[in-house]
Amino acid sequence: MHVAPNGVVLGVDPYYPADGNGGYDVADYAVDLTYDPAARFLNAKAVISATTTQRLSRFNLDLRGLTVTAVKVDGVPAAFVRAGQHELVITPAATLAADTAFTVEVVYCGRSQPDYTPGRGVTGWRTTWSGGAVAAGGAHSARTWFPVNDTSADKATFHLTATVPAGWTAVSTGTRTSVHNGRHTWVEDVPVTPSATMIAVDRFAVRESTAGGTPVLDAFAPGADPALAAKLPAVLDFLTGQLGPYPLPAAGGVYLPDLVHSHPAQGRPVHGGGADQSALVQAVAAQWWGNQLAIKMWQDQPLVESFARYLVWLWDEEKRGLAVEQRYQDAVRRADARFWGRELADPGAGREFSVADKGVLMVHALRKHIGDAAFFTVLRDYPQIATGLNQGWYDWELFTAAVADKDLTAFYQAWVHGTALPPAELR
């Protein structure tokens, strides 16, 4: 068992206990891949730079499917075996001492497949209508296309070089630094959780611009409607007014006609054909509440999801005249016992994204309970003070109580840990 500097026990998530691995902290992933859309075949090499946190005679990475052909640790061939659905167990030629920097090189190939999580459905690598491919979307996505320490508790920088045929483009997290002879290089120097990485390969029309001084790169697959992307500058302007400076060096999105939802990948969300302006606002809000402020464990996902959703409500109030208080009251009146019976602090594995409709009511109730001055302070400041850290419900409850200078035990017991309609004085 390994406790990271942020207090998280790596590899111990009550919802997905097989995810993540202890004994080391990753600093950087460097993935160099070639993808053939016609054959749907991937050839790749990943170099993982990490530091041991204990003496290691062997260690694991997460990689689902795909064929591993060679592994080296610090340049020396290492033994490896596959275990379970996604464990790559590596035994270096010599035991690694504690507090030592090391590199792992994994050479692999194959046809990537999506991952299925009960309750949440398909995530990770999938092909698109136009013959391309995309991998984005929450738990277990990253391990469908590169070897990873698949836990939100282990953020790392991310570098990708993707080679694709002429006429095709590879888009990823971060900033595009070069395109040459079909090789597309992307750099994300802001540490990212595995679940917030993304890759998309298609016959994209790429548009570069700026919004409020931030470079923007949008990629449109064949048949994608560019209208939603045109609203990004206004959304960024609104959210920076609410939350402070945009926390990443680049923005933009990938627009596909055949997906339904939006996935808030770091800096470059992926939007399906069913995405609307609310989805755009929420995905961009998640760059603060979800990426800059990252969760400790998957049971904490409703925390960031609820605040990203509330920022949509604030947008709708300012831009569309939909009063937040009236919206809140209407939703409380409509809610039944089943609605209230879901616990925000522990929604259950596979249901991490299913309680934000209750969570957004909690956020507004908190605003009323502590007052606008304290509320908008914590809305803006919490992601900033948590940059590079992982936070959970317990951390949030302590922070808001301190800022509000108020005992919020009863409020959080009713709204976050409770499974019944909160009492009138708390709503």
| 187 and 67 co-located in one domain | yes
Quick one: pLDDT band at residue 15, thresholds 50, 70, 90? confident
Q: What is residue 7's predicted lDDT score, i.e. its pLDDT?
A: 38
DSSP designation for 245: S
Say yes or no to pLDDT of 2 above 60. Answer: no
DSSP designation for 56: B
CA distances 6 to 145, 389, 390, 391, Å, are: 27, 6, 6, 8
Q: What is residue 250's predicted lDDT score, i.e. its pLDDT?
A: 96
Domain boundary among 203, 232, 253: 203
8 Å CB contact between 60 and 89: yes
Counted domains in the chain: 2
What gap in Å lies between CA 133 and CA 164, rounded to an integer? 11
| 73 and 187 co-located in one domain | yes
Q: Give the residue-averaged pLDDT of 121-140.
A: 87
Q: Where are the alpha helices (DSSP H) in 178-335?
A: 232-243, 277-285, 301-320, 324-334
Contacts of 23 (CB under 8 A, 6+ apart): 2, 10, 52, 53, 54, 56, 59
The answer as to whether 18 is a domain residue is yes
Contacts of 46 (CB under 8 A, 6+ apart): 29, 30, 31, 32, 105, 106, 108, 146, 147
Q: What is residue 243's predicted lDDT score, i.e. its pLDDT?
A: 97
Q: What is residue 349's predicted lDDT score, i.e. its pLDDT?
A: 87
| 199 and 299 co-located in one domain | no
Please give the distance of CA 307 from its chain centroid, rounded to a whole number: 15
How do residues 317-354 score in pLDDT, each as one tens digit? 999 999 999 999 999 999 999 999 999 999 998 888 88
Both tokens assigned to 227: 């209208």
H helix or E strand, kind and range, residue 252:
strand 251-255
The answer as to whether 263 is a domain residue is no
| 26 and 133 co-located in one domain | yes
The answer as to whether 218 is a domain residue is no
In 3D, which of 210, 252, 263, 208 has the Cα closest to residue 229?
252
| 298 and 178 co-located in one domain | no
The answer as to whether 272 is a domain residue is no
In the block, residue with structure tokens 């691995």: 21
Say yes or no to pLDDT of 87 above 90. Answer: yes
The answer as to whether 260 is a domain residue is no
How do residues 372-387 score in pLDDT, each as one tens digit? 999 999 999 999 988 8
Quick one: pLDDT band at residue 12, thresholds 50, 70, 90? low
The answer as to whether 124 is a domain residue is yes
Q: Of the given ranges (2-16, 45-59, 215-229, 394-408), which has the lowest mean pLDDT?
A: 2-16
Q: Give the residue-averaged pLDDT of 175-187.
A: 96
Domain boundary among 150, 185, 203: 203
How do residues 18-32 score in pLDDT, each as one tens digit? 888 889 999 999 999
How do residues 271-311 score in pLDDT, each as one tens digit? 998 899 999 999 999 999 999 988 888 899 999 999 999 99
CATH number at residue 356: 1.10.390
Please give the distance of CA 326 from its chain centroid, rounded to a whole number: 31
How do residues 145-171 score in pLDDT, each as one tens digit? 999 999 988 999 999 999 999 999 999
- Radius of gyration for the chain, computed over Cα atoms and rounded to the nearest angstrom: 22
Q: What is residue 8's predicted lDDT score, i.e. its pLDDT?
A: 39
Say yes or no to pLDDT of 3 above 70. Answer: no
Q: What is residue 149's predicted lDDT score, i.e. its pLDDT?
A: 96
Domain boundary among 179, 203, 227: 203
| 298 and 152 co-located in one domain | no
Say yes or no to pLDDT of 4 above 50. Answer: no
CATH number at residue 18: 2.60.40.1730
8 Å CB contact between 73 and 92: yes
| 28 and 167 co-located in one domain | yes
The answer as to whether 221 is a domain residue is no
Q: What is residue 119's predicted lDDT score, i.e. its pLDDT?
A: 63
Contacts of 287 (CB under 8 A, 6+ apart): 246, 247, 248, 251, 264, 266, 267
| 159 and 20 co-located in one domain | yes
8 Å CB contact between 117 and 139: yes
- Report helix, strand and coil shares of the chain as percent, to nearest 5: 30, 30, 40
Both tokens assigned to 263: 């996935």
Say yes or no to pLDDT of 267 above 80. Answer: yes
Contacts of 171 (CB under 8 A, 6+ apart): 184, 186, 199, 200, 201, 204, 206, 217, 219, 254, 268
DSSP designation for 424: G
Both tokens assigned to 383: 């992601």
8 Å CB contact between 257 and 221: yes
- What distance, in Å, lies between the first and last C-alpha atoms of the chain? 41
Quick one: pLDDT band at residue 6, thresholds 50, 70, 90? very low
- In degrees, rounded to 5, the angle at the alpha carbon of residue 181 between the alpha carbons of residues 178 and 185 is 30
| 154 and 301 co-located in one domain | no
Q: Look up the domain containing 369 and give its range.
A: 294-426
DSSP for 136-177, written as a single string? -SSTTSGGGTS-B---TT--EEEEEEEE--TT-EEEESSEEE
The answer as to whether 213 is a domain residue is no
